[in-house]
């Protein structure tokens, strides 16, 4: 599935989100193109997670419109919304695995809900998904509380990918992983994008991820997108926060 250019899978227009008197997002516009991996960065507390949660409908917005797959989520009825939700997967920051279900049940949960498959096929698909995220079949019958942090992230990704979505939201997928694990994860996201034609919306602080996995980077600041473009564009930017971010000590270390 070759990425079709100028085909926006997410269109966010003039989004304003406010908690009490505290305005988090202020007239924000953002486009995510089909088939790309968009890295989303910004200072801590700038509202990256809030934007993600607003797009997926967990945070109410004051004004603005959000279109996903060309469907306006405000105007959509419950059925259309479910149709959209079936086509995206979300990886939460803490994994958000269902703690009372095993890994296998977690991954099969959305499959069971949306498709009428035989148990055998679901088990095989579960093993395939676990394999894709780099886990052995043995973990399938463990509970989330028996997994390490990195494994939880991987299982959560496997669950997000369970229905072969077209779009996945990743909220800090590599935070809390060791550098090797994080590198594997970036590689994995790349592979999945290539094989499944995924569009990836990734909130991250990991410079390595930005350099190796992302096609495009968007930067959030003061409730707006202050810059969007390739890594090279970011490095050329004169914005003070961007200069610090991409030319700081850690960035130089990553760039070698």
Partner 1 sequence: MSGDPTLERIAQGNGLALCAAGSWTARFAPDLERIVADAEKLAGSRPNIFIDVSQVSRLDTFGAWLIERLRRSLTQGGVEAKIAGLSANYSSLVDEVRRVKANPELDGSAVSVTGMLEQIGRSVAGVGVTLVSLIDMLGAVLAASGRVLIRPRGFRLTSTVHHLEQVCWRAVPIVVLITFLIGCIIAQQGIFHFRQFGADIFVVDMLGVLVLREIGVLLVAIMVAGRSGSAYTAELGSMKMREEIDALRTMGFDPIEVLILPRMLALVLALPILAFLGAMAALYGGGLVAWLYGGVEPEAFLLRLRDAISINHFIVGLIKAPVMAAVIGIVACVEGLAVQGSAESLGQHTTSSVVKGIFFVIVMDGVFAIFFASIGM
Q: Mark the segment that binds partner 1 (CB under 8 A) among 56-64, 168-176, 194-202, 234-242.
A: 194-202
Nearest in space to 157 (alpha carbons), one of 178, 124, 182: 182
Site string for partner 1, 136-165 (x = CB under 8 A): -x--xx-xxxx--------------x-xx-
CA distance 180 to 186: 10
| CA trace torsion 57, 63, 69, 70 (10° rounding) | 150
Shortest distance in whole angstroms from residue 66 CB to partner 1: 24
For residue 153, what are its two tokens? 């992230």
CA distance 254 to 19: 36
With CB under 8 A as the contact rule, the residue among 62, 121, 236, 255 that binds partner 1 is: 121
CA angle (220 as vertex; 214, 224 as ends), nearest 5: 135
Taking the least distance from each CB to partner 1, the nearer of 196 and 226 is: 196
Taking the least distance from each CB to partner 1, the nearer of 20 and 138 is: 138
Shortest distance in whole angstroms from residue 170 CB to partner 1: 18
Q: Mark the segment that binds partner 1 (CB under 8 A) among 9-17, 192-200, 207-215, 229-237.
A: 192-200
Taking the least distance from each CB to partner 1, the nearer of 63 and 191 is: 191
| CA trace torsion 190, 219, 88, 78 (10° rounding) | -170
Q: Mark the segment that binds partner 1 (CB under 8 A) among 32-40, 55-63, 119-127, 243-251.
A: 119-127
| Residue 143 DSSP SS3 | coil
228 Cβ contact partners less than 8 Å away, ≥ 6 residues apart:
30, 216, 217, 218, 219
Residues that bind partner 1 (CB under 8 A): 1-2, 98-100, 104, 111, 115-118, 121, 123-129, 131-132, 137, 140-141, 143-146, 161, 163-164, 191, 194-197
């Amino acid at each position: 599935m070759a990425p079709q250019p100028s085909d926006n899978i997410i269109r966010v227009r003039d989004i304003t989100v406010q908690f009490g008197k505290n305005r988090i997002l202020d007239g924000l516009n953002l486009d995510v193109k089909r088939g790309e991996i968009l890295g989303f960065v910004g200072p801590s507390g700038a509202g990256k997670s809030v934007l993600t949660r607003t797009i997926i409908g967990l945070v109410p917005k004051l004004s603005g419109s959000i279109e996903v797959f060309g469907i306006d989520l405000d105007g959509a009825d419950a059925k259309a919304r479910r149709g959209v939700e079936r086509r995206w997967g979300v990886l939460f920051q803490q994994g958000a695995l269902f703690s009372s279900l095993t890994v296998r049940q977690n991954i099969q949960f959305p499959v069971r809900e949306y498709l009428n498959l035989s148990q055998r096929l679901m088990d095989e698909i579960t093993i395939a998904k676990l394999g894709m995220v780099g886990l052995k079949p043995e973990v399938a019958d463990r509970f989330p509380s028996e997994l390490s942090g990195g494994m939880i992230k991987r299982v959560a990704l496997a669950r997000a990918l369970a229905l072969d979505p077209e779009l996945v939201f990743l909220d800090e997928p590599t935070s809390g992983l060791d550098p090797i694990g994080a590198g594997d994860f970036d590689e994995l996201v790349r592979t999945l994008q290539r094989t499944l034609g995924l569009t990836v919306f990734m909130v991250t602080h990991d410079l390595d991820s930005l350099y190796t996995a992302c096609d495009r980077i968007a930067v959030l600041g003061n409730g707006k997108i202050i810059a969007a473009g390739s890594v090279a564009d970011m490095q050329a930017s004169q914005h003070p926060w961007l200069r610090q971010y991409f030319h700081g000590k850690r960035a130089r270390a990553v760039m070698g």
